Each structure stands twice: as structure tokens, then as C-alpha cells.
Amino acid sequence: MLGDILVEGYPKAIDKIFGVKLSKADRRSTLVQMRKNGQEALNALSDGLTQYSQTVHSGPIIEIVQHLPKEELAAMAESLVSLTSFKRHVTKQAETVGGPVDVAVISRGDGLVWIKRKQYFHGDLNPHFLANYYNGVGSCKRVGEINEKAGSA
């Protein structure tokens, strides 16, 4: 790791080269100073990378999110879940995210509104459930018809 190289690796490498020319006390104080300098360099690099990442990557996204309409926020949330799922799939992390994604928007004015919702069963095989669940929408044979009727209501 970079921290190990900066804090321990390069002082040891330099000590091998110049250590024989220094007294034991000078050698010890030089190694302590080099480790301190290495830690300071590592901290400066870490702070710089964090600042760069926030300025160039996350900062602009965070700034724009507060101005996005609800529909785009829902699409962004779905994309972030999909990206997380893909990342977990291609790395050695446990795949705890994945599969079809339900997307809903919750607002003060509208309450909970489903943007995208998966069905865990086929509507063709369970028309009685759909008729009861979507009370007042009518008897539909397909889930798509329910969405069409609900959208026109």
C-alpha cells in the first residue's frame, strides 16, 4: 500500500544506502524524521485526492441533485442501485444488491407514487387479485392495462 511505502519503505531503502555512514544516534533520528515526512506526504496526498474528488466528481452532482425534478431523481436513484449491483457483480464483494428494482417517489403533495414496480406474479393468472387490489380500476387481464387505466384516471 502507498502508506507503507511512504512511511516505512523509503526510509528503510535510504537507510540501507546511507545508514552505514551515520552514527547510531544520527541514523535513528534520520529514520524518525523520514517516517514523519513520509506520513506528512501521505496525508497531503490523501487530502489532495479527497479535495479533487469532491470538486470534480461528487460536488457537481450534489449541487445539481437539489434542482432535479422528481422523475429525474427517481431515474438517478434507480441508476445508482444498478451501478452498485454491477460493481458488486464484477468485484469480490457479496452480491447483496441486484435483481429488478422498485422505484417510488415520496413527496408531501403526492405521498408515495410508484414510478416502477415489479410484479412477483403474472397478472393473467391472478385477475381476482388485481381486481381487488386495484379497487375501482376495473377488471384487467394484464398489468399494463392497469397502468394505462390508472394513468388516465
Task: Give 37-97 as a DSSP string.
Answer: HHHHHHHHHHHHHHHHHIIIIIHHHHHHHTTS-HHHHHHHHHHHHHHHHHHHHHSSS---S
Q: Nearest-5° angle of CA 141, CA 146, CA 148?
A: 120
Phi-psi region of 105 (alpha: psi -120 to 50; beta: other; left: phi over 0): beta
Q: Which residue has the cell 544506502?
A: 17
The rounded distance, in Å, linking the Cα atoms of 61 and 71 is: 16
Q: What is the pLDDT of residue 106?
A: 94
Q: With a cut of 70, list the residues of the chain below it in pLDDT.
A: 1-2, 6, 19-20, 136-153
Amino acid making up residue 39: Q
The rounded distance, in Å, linking the Cα atoms of 17 and 19 is: 6
Q: What is the pLDDT of residue 100?
A: 86
Mean confidence (pLDDT) of the chain: 81
Q: What is the pLDDT of residue 140?
A: 46
